[in-house]
């Protein structure tokens, strides 16, 4: 397409932004929490809404059942040349603690804040807002030019926030329908509000729930305390022993397959001007908690982690109950890098637990699963084309960056469909995804749509 042709689409995006925003707010009103069975019908409703919208744009769109929440798959073959598969997820995180939200998480609204206008609500950033940037870019191309500049398929799942149990089986069974030349994924962030990013290094994830049972029922601590094993003590010891005094994880073989940064990577990252004090200060902290001798950027992008995501035991209500609990449990996850093997990490965790559980207590390990880290080949020319397109839209040139979060889908696209993924997203560090008061900046939404308009054009010329 000519530069003029692209400008026409960008102008259309600007002129129709309010309608695009209304469509996003409608989608955000659906409480599609995938991890909680109580919201199953809502997940289904979100999938239906996407199918209807894509069909209205001329996509061949359908909802496909799975043992869990349905997949949405849509194709548009009118474009030429390169074929891309855009991935997103329509499910959202749970909202608790609800008391910390300053508005109903599923009654989204645009709010004026000192830092600009934001779309407030669960899923605004993760991932409904991001997903809709791409859908709206396609809508604008079709509205102005009648068709897309390349072939576009879309693939939306509804289980991303609950471990994607149906994803791999579905991809394997439907590989032929999903296969394209390149995947596009919009579930990541900018480097900073002025600097767009393509994420090329993703940490993997291994996770499990650990349940320690000591006495077979809750006991009176006065009657049994001192003599009966307290599972909260056993759990505390297991969790405390996961890290040594230098912040390193103590699991046997944990650092096998963890690569050192190359000098080139280290130099590129040092040039980004990352504000480590500001990053920690933004959440009320000042002392990096990770391995001593590593930079904060290494801690969050290129080093593996071991984190307790939740734990509970005994009486946690108001007041005091001098109970000696029967059970104590924790949810633990590991972010993985390089060629760390998730199964080996989970096995080392099992061994760590077994060594610390007294013979008369039991330790159950539930829901253990994982996915390895992913590294994208940035010599694929689509990466540089997309980087240029993003650089045209934003104040500063786009960067190839790492990401602390795990987006296992990128690994699956490589392993199952043989596709590389362009991970482009417009989230910001302060979006509070997975937390109360999630938001997505109106600028992220608007310039995100414009960015995809440019990227679609750029990919038509690769």
Residues from 156 through 185 that contact its own copies (CB under 8 A): 161-163
CA distance 387 to 375: 17
**CA atoms in the 13 A half-sphere facing the CB of 308:** 15
CB 229 within 8 A of CB 358: yes
Report if residue 351 touches its own copies, rule: CB under 8 A.
no
Contact residue for its own copies among 403, 410, 455, 458 (CB under 8 A): 403
The vertex-393 CA angle with 390 and 396, nearest 5°, equals: 75
Smallest separation, CB 341 to its own copies (Å): 19
Q: Which is nearer to its own copies, 153 or 230 (CB)?
A: 230
Report if residue 243 touches its own copies, rule: CB under 8 A.
yes
Report if residue 67 touches its own copies, rule: CB under 8 A.
no
Q: Tokens 């026409």, residue?
A: 8
Smallest separation, CB 364 to its own copies (Å): 15
Report if residue 405 touches its own copies, rule: CB under 8 A.
yes
CA distance 63 to 204: 29
CA distance 182 to 459: 10
Q: Which is nearer to its own copies, 220 or 351 (CB)?
A: 220
Smallest separation, CB 141 to its own copies (Å): 32
Smallest separation, CB 138 to its own copies (Å): 28
Q: Which is nearer to its own copies, 84 or 337 (CB)?
A: 337
Contact residue for its own copies among 135, 299, 348, 417 (CB under 8 A): 299
Q: Which is nearer to its own copies, 79 or 427 (CB)?
A: 427
209 Cβ contact list (under 8 Å, min separation 6): 329, 330, 331, 332, 365, 366, 367
316 Cβ contact list (under 8 Å, min separation 6): none
Q: Which is nearer to its own copies, 230 or 340 (CB)?
A: 230
Report if residue 309 touches its own copies, rule: CB under 8 A.
yes
Report if residue 206 touches its own copies, rule: CB under 8 A.
no
CB 307 within 8 A of CB 333: yes
Contact residue for its own copies among 12, 16, 25, 36 (CB under 8 A): 36
Report if residue 286 touches its own copies, rule: CB under 8 A.
yes
Region 434-453 residues binding its own copies, contact defined as CB under 8 A: 434-436
Count of residues engaged in binding its own copies, rule: CB under 8 A: 100
CB atoms within 10 A of CB 110: 17
Strand pairing report for 151-157 and 83-89: parallel
Region 250-279 residues binding its own copies, contact defined as CB under 8 A: 276, 279
CB 14 within 8 A of CB 144: no
Region 113-152 residues binding its own copies, contact defined as CB under 8 A: none
CB 32 within 8 A of CB 123: yes
Report if residue 328 touches its own copies, rule: CB under 8 A.
yes
CA distance 439 to 441: 7
CB 85 within 8 A of CB 419: yes
62 Cβ contact list (under 8 Å, min separation 6): 51, 72, 73, 74
Which residue from 54, 92, 56 is spatially nearest to 73, judged by alpha carbons? 54
- Candidate segments 69-77, 190-198, 375-383, 430-438, binder of its own copies by CB under 8 A: 430-438
CA distance 146 to 262: 46
Tokens of residue 43, six digits: 């997940």
Smallest separation, CB 205 to its own copies (Å): 7
Smallest separation, CB 404 to its own copies (Å): 5
Contact residue for its own copies among 108, 129, 193, 325 (CB under 8 A): 325
Report if residue 379 touches its own copies, rule: CB under 8 A.
no
Q: Which is nearer to its own copies, 36 or 384 (CB)?
A: 36
CB 291 within 8 A of CB 246: yes
Q: Which is nearer to its own copies, 271 or 286 (CB)?
A: 286
Smallest separation, CB 237 to its own copies (Å): 4
Q: x/- binding map, residues 212-241, to its own copies, per CB under 8 A?
A: --xxxxxxxxxxxxxxxxx-xx-xxx-xxx
Contact residue for its own copies among 172, 321, 351, 461 (CB under 8 A): 321
Region 353-372 residues binding its own copies, contact defined as CB under 8 A: 358-361, 367
């Amino acid at each position: 397409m000519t530069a003029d042709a692209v400008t026409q689409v960008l102008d259309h995006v600007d002129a129709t932004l309010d309608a695009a925003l209304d469509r996003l707010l409608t989608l955000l009103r659906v409480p599609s929490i995938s991890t909680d069975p109580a919201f199953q019908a809502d997940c289904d409703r979100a999938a239906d809404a996407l199918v209807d919208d894509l069909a209205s744009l001329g996509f061949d769109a359908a909802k496909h059942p799975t043992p869990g929440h349905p997949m949405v798959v849509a194709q548009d073959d009118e474009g030429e040349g390169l074929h891309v598969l855009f991935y997103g997820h329509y499910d959202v995180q749970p909202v608790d603690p609800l008391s910390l939200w300053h508005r109903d998480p599923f009654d989204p609204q645009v709010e004026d804040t000192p830092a600009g206008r934001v779309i407030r609500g669960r899923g605004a950033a993760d991932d409904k807002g991001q997903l809709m940037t791409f859908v709206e870019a396609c809508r604008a191309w079709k509205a102005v030019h009648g068709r897309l500049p390349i072939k576009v398929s879309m693939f939306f799942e509804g289980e991303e926030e609950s471990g994607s149990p149906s994803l791999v089986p579905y991809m394997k069974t439907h590989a032929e329908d999903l296969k394209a030349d390149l995947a596009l994924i919009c579930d990541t962030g900018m480097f900073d509000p002025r600097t767009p990013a393509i994420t090329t290094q993703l940490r993997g994830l291994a996770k499990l729930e650990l349940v320690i049972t000591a006495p077979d029922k809750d006991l009176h601590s006065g009657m049994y305390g001192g003599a009966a094993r307290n599972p909260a003590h056993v759990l505390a010891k297991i969790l405390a022993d996961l890290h040594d005094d230098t912040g390193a994880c103590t699991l046997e073989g944990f650092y096998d397959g963890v690569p050192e940064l190359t000098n080139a990577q280290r130099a590129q990252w040092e040039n980004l001007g990352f504000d480590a004090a500001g990053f920690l200060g933004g959440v009320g902290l000042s002392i990096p908690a990770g391995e001593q001798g590593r930079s904060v950027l290494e801690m969050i992008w290129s080093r593996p982690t071991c984190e307790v995501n939740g734990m509970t035991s005994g009486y946690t209500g108001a007041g005091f109950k001098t109970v000696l609990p029967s059970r104590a449990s924790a949810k633990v996850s590991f972010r993985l890098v390089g060629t760390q093997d998730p199964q080996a990490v989970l096995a080392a965790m099992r061994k760590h637990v077994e060594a610390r559980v007294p013979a008369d207590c039991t330790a159950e390990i539930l829901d253990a699963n994982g996915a390895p880290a992913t590294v994208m080949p940035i010599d694929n020319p689509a990466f540089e084309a997309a980087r240029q397109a993003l650089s045209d839209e934003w104040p500063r040139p786009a960067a190839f960056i790492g990401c602390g979060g795990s987006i296992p889908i990128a690994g699956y696209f490589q392993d199952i469909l043989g596709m590389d993924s362009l991970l482009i997203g417009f989230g910001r560090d302060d979006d509070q995804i997975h937390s109360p008061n999630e938001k997505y900046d109106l600028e992220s939404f608007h310039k995100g749509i414009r960015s995809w308009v440019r990227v679609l054009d750029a990919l038509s010329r690769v």
